[in-house]
A = this chain, B = another copy of it.
Amino acid sequence: MVKIGILGVGTVGASVANILETNADILEARAGKKIIAKSGVVKNLSKDRGVSIALSDDPMDVVNDPEIEIVVELMGGVEEPYALVKKALENGKAVVTANKALLAYHRYELQEIAGDIPLMYEASTAGGIPIIGALRNGLTANHIESIQGIMNGTTNYMLTKMINEGALYDDILKESQELGYAEADPTFDVGGFDASHKLLILASIAYGIDAKPEDILIEGIQNITQTDVNFAKEFGYEIKLLGIAKKAENGVELRVHPTMIPASSMIAKVDGVMNAVSVVGDRVGETMYYGAGAGGDATASAVIADIVDIVRGNTGPMLGYKKGLESGLTLLPQEEISTHYYLRMEVDDKSGVLAAITRELEKFDISIESMLQQPHNSDDKVKLLFTTHECQEARIREAIEVLKGLDCIYGEIVMMRIEK
């Protein structure tokens, strides 16, 4: 019999405790041993958690309990869980965590502390989808060429509504908040930060890259309008907030941003709150993994998969590589990212404007691939939308600065990246 303790008995923690009880039969058959949730830790003992396990408000009651072999960390936050996970590992306990922020910041320190003690984190990325296992164990034969993931259900729900139903950003954000998909302060989701944590975890397994959220390009969906949506539709794209890891010549691109992708690709077909991760390996080609990225039971499903793997003794190297044998790839500076770009700007509705713009772009070696000019407004301005051939991020950024200085261009220039 294996006893576990749960740090943080919220929605996911309660699901873990309940599934261990209701699915005990099949879990014992699969793990080969009974698995029992012994106790949990909460901040507020007076609140009913809907679980039958013993609760305490002192994390040390779990972390120092000699009967507990596996500590499940579901607290959220970074530094407090880091200290507790460290302590649990030092006490020789295996750890399962669903905490993406903890891993985004401390995964390599934790790998060092854990040594041979299992530290598992399937639930940290894309909820119930077993993507960590797929990448860490299922695709080991491959050099990973790229990863593209829809790893935030809130923003995918919002984008789906904007694209399929023509909903406006502000309206759909409000609806998402009412439905409980988005927080009162939605920045963590809509700004791409949540997805960036998950991307960093996948990038470690795929490439052995040690980077933190502040090192990588992160853009949210806040500036997308129906104009962009309509352009995307017309040119055969969907817009998704993607976490992208891509092997380039001199390093690995890591970036989170709204992306135009061909509507015919499998990941473009993933709608609503669902998550999916597409991985291209040099030998297997594209594989894709789809499912629920959030929710108590789905996340608990991944937590318990890790518990069963620990009980079975199937854990492997925490970050996919034997420590010290990482691939040696490094993070490519943001300026060196290379892709296709979409630009939207408001310009004077008169002859010569287009020539002026293309002339400036040419100076940066940027060539236009497709263009759309929208019918002009009452005030003699028109919206100009175009896409570029592949060019470097640094050049497009510089070009935008120069364009913004032109007299014929008004207000902000909105840029979105395109992956083909």
Which B residues touch A143, using CB under 8 A?
A: 23, 26
A137→B141 contact, CB < 8 A: no
Shortest distance from the beta carbon of A136 to any chain B beta carbon, whole Å: 8
- A116-142 vs B, CB cutoff 8 Å, 1 = contact: the mask equals 000000100000111001100111111
Closest to A128 in B: B284
Proximity string of chain A (272-298) to chain B, C-beta cutoff 8 Å, 1 when within and 0 when not: 000000000111111111111001011
Say whether A363 faces chain B, with CB atoms less than 8 Å apart.
Answer: no
* A1-30 interface bits toward B, Cβ cutoff 8 Å, 1 = contact, 0 = none: 000000000000001000100010111111
**With contacts A283-B298, A291-B284 known, is A29 near B325, CB below 8 A?**
yes
Query: A151 contacts the other chain (Cβ, under 8 Å)?
Result: no
**Chain B residues, CB < 8 A from A141:** 19, 23, 27, 300-305, 308
Segment of A316-324, A369-377, A394-402 engaged in the interface with chain B: A316-324
Q: Which residue of B lies closest to A133 (CB)?
A: B138
Interface size on A, residues (CB 8 A): 63
How far, in angstroms, from A313 to B314 measured CA to CA in the complex?
7
- Binary contact readout A323-339 vs B (1 if CB under 8 angstroms, 0 otherwise): 00111000000000000
Q: Output the residue of A27, A270, A286, A305 with the most chain B CB within 10 A.
A: A305
Copies of this chain assembled into the complex: 2
Of B15, B30, B266, B287, which one neighbours A140 at CB under 8 angstroms? B30
Residues of B within 8 A of A404 (CB): none
User: Nearest Cβ distance between residue A194 and chain B, in whole angstroms?
Assistant: 20
Interface flag for A269 (CB, 8 Å): yes
CA–CA, A128 and B287, complex, Å: 8
Chain B residues with CB below 8 A from A297, complex form: 283-285
Chain B residues contacting A325 (CB-CB under 8 Å) are 28-29, 32
Contact A285 to B128, CB < 8 A, known contacts A143-B26, A266-B270: yes
With A130-B137, A138-B122 in contact, is A290–B291 under 8 Å at CB?
no
Q: How far is the CA of A81 from the CA of B305 in the complex (A)?
A: 33
Asked if A196 is at the interface (CB within 8 A of a chain B CB), the reply is no
Residues of B within 8 A of A138 (CB): 122, 130, 133-134, 302, 305
* A interface list, Cβ under 8 A from B: 15, 19, 23, 25-32, 122, 128-130, 133-134, 137-143, 208, 266, 269-270, 281-292, 295, 297-298, 300-305, 308-309, 312-317, 320-322, 325-327
User: Can you name 27 A-B residue pairings with CB atoms under 8 Å?
Assistant: A19-B283, A23-B283, A27-B140, A29-B208, A29-B327, A32-B322, A129-B287, A130-B133, A130-B137, A134-B289, A137-B308, A138-B302, A138-B305, A139-B305, A140-B304, A140-B305, A141-B301, A141-B302, A141-B303, A141-B304, A142-B301, A266-B269, A269-B269, A286-B292, A288-B291, A289-B289, A314-B316
Q: Which 9 A-B pairs have the closest CB atoms?
A: A130-B138, A287-B291, A141-B304, A29-B325, A128-B284, A284-B301, A32-B322, A288-B290, A314-B314
